Amino acid sequence: MCAHWRKLRVREARAASSWHASGAPDIVGVRGINLHVEPGEFISIVGQSGTGKSTLAKLLFAEERPSKGQIVIGGWDISNIRPREVPLLRRQIGVVFQDFKLLQKKTVFENTAFALEVAGVRPSRIREIVPQVLRIVGLDDKLHRYPLQLSGGERQRAAIARSLVHRPKILVADEPTGNLDAINAREIIDLLKKINSFGTTVVLVTHNREIVNGLRQRVVMLSNGEVASDVEHGRYKLA
């Protein structure tokens, strides 16, 4: 795995807020964020609701575009990435969401395989890759289950499996434990640590103080769309 591709840099990135008609914020912007992540790091992005955490995550996998500044992934400035290049980027960056985003009418195997199918990977290769990935996340005995037949923790494992099929250099997990109880949340964090031990850079976006403090890894705190602190082996301390 190329170490260069596991590095990311955010330079003076800005993204405007958007608003509901009611006047409530829909997307909270970021303002002049600077962030440099080395290959193989495990970094937690923390902050209270409405501080720009999810906006920063979306900037990293090009769901949002910065209005100013640069987002550089492995030497590739994606600030003005073209639509046809986004699928190429997503093969280098795995994304895990709070709400799983699984296809309800597809099995665990089919959900995991889908990301390979749309990329044009031949069926014989898919049959080889998918069981390997499901073994990593501990779902190799649930290949033929549907999402509704899984627990919340198992659904998140399936979502993580799907994010890993292209062997991404960076994994962005946006509130992956938000819908889980404490036991399942800890198991998902342990799985992310396992993935990180393979050399994958992990960016965890969370508001869960207990999880962050248990990790004892780098912690970047956002406040009002800006970096308030950036501490190696940090803790999440409420103001």
pLDDT tens-digit readout, 89-131:
888 899 998 888 999 999 999 999 999 999 999 999 999 999 9
State the Cα–Cα distance between residues 146 and 97, nearest whole angstrom: 18
Which contacts (CB < 8 Å, 24+ apart) does range 26-31 have? 27/54, 27/55, 27/64, 28/52, 28/54, 28/55, 28/225, 29/55, 29/225, 30/55, 30/56, 30/59, 30/222, 30/225, 30/226, 31/224, 31/225, 31/226
Q: State the average pLDDT for the chain.
A: 86
Angle at 61 between CA 132 and CA 78, to 5 degrees: 125
Kindly report which listed range (27-31, 125-129, 189-193) carries the lowest average pLDDT score: 27-31
How high is the pLDDT of residue 12? 60
Ordered domains of the chain (ranges, CATH): 40-65+90-231 (3.40.50.300)
Beta bridge partners of 25: 19
pTM over 0.95: no
The burial class, CB within 10 Å (0-12 / 13-18 / 19+), for 64 is buried
pLDDT level of residue 23 (50, 70, 90 thresholds): very low
- Check residue 209 and give left, alpha or beta (phi > 0: left; psi -120 to 50: alpha): alpha
Phi, psi (deg, nearest 5) at residue 58: -65, -30
pLDDT level of residue 75 (50, 70, 90 thresholds): confident
Cβ within 8 Å of residue 159, ≥6 positions away: 96, 97, 100, 101, 102, 176
